[in-house]
Structure 1
Amino acid sequence: MLRPGELAHIKEEAEVIPKHEIITALPSWQSAYNPNRPIHTRHGSQDPVLEKDVFFKEKIGGTPKRSRSRSSSLDGEENTHHSRMLFWLIICLVVLLILAIVLGAVLGTLLPGGSNAPPDPSVTEIPAGQTPTTTPTPTSGDGRSSPTPTPSMHIASLSVTGWSIEGPEGYFAVWLFWQNSRGYLSRATFNSSTGNWTRVSNFVKAKSGTPLAAAAFTTEYYKDQPNFNFTGAHHQAQVVYLDEKNRVNEWVFTDTGPALGEAGSLNDQKYMAHGDTQLASYWPNIIYQGMSGEMREARFACYERETCWNDGVLATTQPVNGSHMAMIPFHDELASVGVFYQEEDGRYLNFVEDSDRATAAFSDRISLNSSLAAFATTRKSAPSQSSLDKYLLWQSDDDKHIYMAYSDDSSDWKGPVTHPALAGAEAGTALSCLTGMTFTNFSLLEGTELSRCYFQTGAAVREVSFDGTSWDIVSIVPIEL
């Protein structure tokens, strides 16, 4: 038991002992990371970095207390030791971070599909007569051809549009669209005044395997009409496609605008299509299947300012889901248009919109699920009539040749017929044909320079033309897959 003097002596000693600094401790990650604490991210890294040091001073019991097991000198050594540990820990973390960034970049470059960067859009001028490089046939070690050819990429859809200009300086233009192997849309444009092609690649990403539908018009259609605004352009072309959410989108090009084009006003409508839909278009109409498989029409008509797209259901019979479609004018000055499609029972019909009626179009001769294309020309047998000559093309399942049915008078459809120029198509080829422009008070120009069709042959796209009697192979289109 302590005497009163001893107790006072101990108290005096306690008063002269210096107070200990706050104890430094290495906290656990759970205690160091506060989700409400502001963070920032290092450039090039996805790792969050705390704004404040993860090391902090901890008070025990709310008041500073002296350690009972260490002296003041040991406390200083402990602080120095912790500082060194913190320094080397930071160095190690920085080195590991740099190694991770470098390794990720290398692997992303070397591994297939490692780079997700979109390809750069490009514009390439191709002189007349130049043909694209096709997919080579692999060779054996001694240089001889291997018996197995390299398979070519299958083109899911092709679509073409164009126009003619009359006069001594007249010309015609052809715009062909497709989707390349990276999922981006491209086009090849031919101008007869130069004889050259222009290829514009990677201008917009689309749903993989998207259907395509192209159309064109002259802005003269809407001259002096209210609610239309095409200032500075004479012609406009568009390609319609699906995005990843199966929304119907468009990309538009004007003859005075950028070569890469731009998104069209249709995109703002967010029209939802059936996942298996095909597309067909002739300005100002776009045909697609809705969510329930019904045939729908989006029509460009500015009844009110800034309200130009109008959508509704066509009075057709029920088509099979994913039916191939084609759309062309049936009468001059767009007095009527016809839509070809496949019914649920497999018959192919042509629906004439102005009469709300559908008739069979070689329903027992067109292969089921065949690609379909159509075009129209002025009627040679009766030029004074408004009826147009109509041509329907498809690929046979048997010989893979492309066949044509036609209607060039008031009688029933004739054919089918084929031609050597239509042979050699890839099985299940995409197929597209071109019709010139007609609109209210604008007649379809006479002539057959725009009577052209396009289909895949191996790794190339063949262009063929029809003079009203026979077919000719024109060229290989310089596409890039």
Structure 2
Amino acid sequence: MSRPNSSVPEQPGLEVLSSHGIEVVPSSGLEVAPHDSAFVEHLAPEVVVSDKYYGAGEWYAPKAYSPIPPKQETPGLELAEQKKKSRRRLYVLIAIIVVVLIGAIVGGVVGGLQSRNNSGGSTNASSNNSVSSSAPNGTVTLQSLRPDSKLSVSGWRENDGFTIRLFYQDRKDNLRFSDYSTDEGSWSSSSKIATNDPMSGTPMGAAAIMQNDPPQYELFFLNSTSLLSGQNFRDGNTPAAGVWDSIDDYPVTVSNTSRMAMYWPYAVMQDEDDSLRLVTYLASSEGGPWKNQSLGISGLKSTTMAMIPQSSAYAFPYTAGIVYRTSDGNLAGYSVQWEVSGLAWDIGTPNTLPDETAIAAFAVARESDSINATNTYIVYQNTNNDIELLTNVNATWQVSPTVLTGADPGTDIACLTEALWENLNVLSSQYDMSRCYFMSGGQIREVLYNGTGWEELGNIPLT
């Protein structure tokens, strides 16, 4: 995997962009401007030394000059001088007030994170249960990011830290990625992927293959003819921009309005008739490498989807859960297993969502659970463009009373669950990788769910 450049500065939180409005210029204090010699000579008389004076590198005889006449008292002059001094004091006071106001405005922008309750909308600055993600300076234009780009993310734990790769599309329809590693502590610069002819606005699905050493990132997307395409990335084995994937030789045609979700070894997408299709990786020795099958269930046209492991051990038959929207707009779940027919997965609510809203999900291990169950979190955007959270903690489904505000209308959402494979690793009960990504002000915003609420992590550094 391509590592972040260590020279990249640490990830910013909220970023204050340069403005063409009022500019506050830092100063070390009042500055005394230099004056030319003529002006100085006018302010002070020449200094006479003995019978000669020094000037322009030579000694000269004293100049003849008339004595300075005594100061004439002018009626009302003293009052006028006082008024001038008062005006000067007033101007200084106004300038100080303006600077203080500007500082307050800038400080308010930088510190403008708010927490508010979904039911009452009240602000609670000390709570981490929700966070405002409104863009401080409006929407920005980035060349490396389409304003309606789809998002996908994957990552894994290694040593005492973890690594993340986030995928997105730029304004020229190139696919790109950014990396994060706890070793570096910052996001890498954006990297272009060596793909040909991706569909404009393509859906994406990302996964990590832990069986490979080092692990391998896998990216699925659609090309301009709606064929499923892939690119894989393996540090030290492939170019940083990736290489073609074997799925390219196994043509799968899906709807050009399909969305996509992925968790290894599965990818789910939608056909023209709105039915959901599952593509599964099979070992070559078993007649693979890919199996393409209809799941026999239908979803709302262009339904967004998410996929997460349903066991912290993730052993055979690799049970994973698909979250999607039924034809009536309700959230629904469906469990799949490797080469085994799937079955309905009750997600505990008939929650109806807005048309074409994004869905994402993540999971962590349920502590001290004898059957290796997971705590599950489903993320989606509501009619107010706020991002809500549906939780299943200790086998109980409920809608969180807190929301994320400030998301762009119609944004895609991607959430991270660490990659797993049997006998290699198990799902952690820690929340340090429980991160989600969405568009806010034309940028990709990163947030962390810490087990009780959201934390703002800032924007992904793109240009």
Between the aligned partners of 1:309 and 1:430, the Cα distance in structure 2 is 28
- AA paired with 2:157? S
Give the 3-state SS of the residue equivalent to 1:375 in structure 2. strand
Between the aligned partners of 1:155 and 1:126, the Cα distance in structure 2 is 30
Of 415, 430, 448, which aligns to 1:433? 415
What is the 5 A alignment of 1:111-130? Answer: 127-130=8-11
1:127–1:142 distance in 2 versus 1, CA, 3 Å:
closer
Between the aligned partners of 2:446 and 2:176, the Cα distance in structure 1 is 17
**Structure 1, residues 368-418: CA drift from partner, whole Å, max 9, x if none?**
3211100000013x43331100000011112x221101101223x111332
1:247–1:134 distance in 2 versus 1, CA, 3 Å:
farther
- AA paired with 1:441? N
1:474 CA displacement = 1.7
1:140–1:164 distance in 2 versus 1, CA, 3 Å:
closer
1:357–1:142 distance in 2 versus 1, CA, 3 Å:
closer
Matched, 1:208 2:212: no
Matched, 1:175 2:162: no
**Structure 1, residues 89-115: CA drift from partner, whole Å, max 9, x if none?**
xxxxxxxxxxxxxxxxxxxxxxxxxxx
Between the aligned partners of 2:15 and 2:22, the Cα distance in structure 1 is 21
Identical amino acids, percent of aligned pairs: 25
- AA paired with 2:188? T
1:138 CA displacement = 7.4
What is the 5 A alignment of 1:181-192? Answer: 181-192=171-182
The match for 1:194 is 184
The match for 1:278 is 259
- AA paired with 2:267? I
1:177 CA displacement = 0.4
Do 2:14 and 2:459's aligned partners in 1 also have CA atoms closer than 8 Å? no
Between the aligned partners of 2:207 and 2:461, the Cα distance in structure 1 is 21
What is the 5 A alignment of 1:82-481? Answer: 127-131=8-12, 139=20, 152=141, 153-166=146-159, 170-203=160-193, 204-205=195-196, 206-219=198-211, 230=212, 233-257=213-237, 258-304=239-285, 307-316=288-297, 318-334=298-314, 335-354=318-337, 356-380=343-367, 382-398=368-384, 400-411=385-396, 413-419=397-403, 422-442=404-424, 443-480=426-463
1:350–1:234 distance in 2 versus 1, CA, 3 Å:
same
Between the aligned partners of 1:126 and 1:158, the Cα distance in structure 2 is 26
Between the aligned partners of 1:328 and 1:358, the Cα distance in structure 2 is 12
Do 1:200 and 1:260's aligned partners in 2 also have CA atoms closer than 8 Å? no
1:306–1:179 distance in 2 versus 1, CA, 3 Å:
farther
Which is worse superposed, 189-198 or 274-283? Answer: 189-198
Between the aligned partners of 1:346 and 1:466, the Cα distance in structure 2 is 26
Between the aligned partners of 2:313 and 2:262, the Cα distance in structure 1 is 16
Greater RCO, CA 8 A, separation 6+: 2
**Structure 1, residues 438-466: CA drift from partner, whole Å, max 9, x if none?**
22334213322211111111132111111
1:469–1:312 distance in 2 versus 1, CA, 3 Å:
same
Do 2:266 and 2:279's aligned partners in 1 also have CA atoms closer than 8 Å? yes
- AA paired with 1:426? D
Give the 3-state SS of the residue equivalent to 1:331 in structure 2. coil
1:302 CA displacement = 1.1
The match for 1:89 is none
Do 2:446 and 2:457's aligned partners in 1 also have CA atoms closer than 8 Å? yes
1:361–1:127 distance in 2 versus 1, CA, 3 Å:
farther
- CA RMSD in angstroms comes to 3.0
1:425–1:133 distance in 2 versus 1, CA, 3 Å:
closer
Do 2:221 and 2:228's aligned partners in 1 also have CA atoms closer than 8 Å? yes
The match for 1:80 is none
1:305–1:200 distance in 2 versus 1, CA, 3 Å:
farther
TM-score by length of 1: 0.64
Task: Count matched residues.
Answer: 338
Which is worse superposed, 209-218 or 436-445? Answer: 436-445
Unaligned runs of 5+ in 2: 25-101, 103-136
- AA paired with 1:433? C
Structure number with higher helix proportion: 1
Do 1:401 and 1:418's aligned partners in 2 also have CA atoms closer than 8 Å? no
- AA paired with 2:219? V
Give the 3-state SS of the residue equivalent to 2:179 in structure 1. strand
**Structure 1, residues 130-180: CA drift from partner, whole Å, max 9, x if none?**
549979687479999xxx9566452331111000124xxx22001100000
TM-score by length of 2: 0.67
Do 1:436 and 1:444's aligned partners in 2 also have CA atoms closer than 8 Å? yes
Give the 3-state SS of the residue equivalent to 2:447 in structure 1. strand
1:197 CA displacement = 2.1
- AA paired with 1:374? A
**Structure 1, residues 29-56: CA drift from partner, whole Å, max 9, x if none?**
xxxxxxxxxxxxxxxxxxxxxxxxxxxx
Do 2:281 and 2:288's aligned partners in 1 also have CA atoms closer than 8 Å? no
Between the aligned partners of 2:7 and 2:438, the Cα distance in structure 1 is 20
- AA paired with 2:303? S
The match for 1:10 is none
Give the 3-state SS of the residue equivalent to 1:356 in structure 2. strand
Give the 3-state SS of the residue equivalent to 1:352 in structure 2. strand
Do 1:125 and 1:197's aligned partners in 2 also have CA atoms closer than 8 Å? no
Do 2:279 and 2:293's aligned partners in 1 also have CA atoms closer than 8 Å? yes
Between the aligned partners of 2:15 and 2:224, the Cα distance in structure 1 is 30
- AA paired with 2:262? S
What is the 5 A alignment of 1:16-95? Answer: none
Do 1:128 and 1:195's aligned partners in 2 also have CA atoms closer than 8 Å? no
Between the aligned partners of 2:447 and 2:411, the Cα distance in structure 1 is 15
Give the 3-state SS of the residue equivalent to 2:200 in structure 1. coil
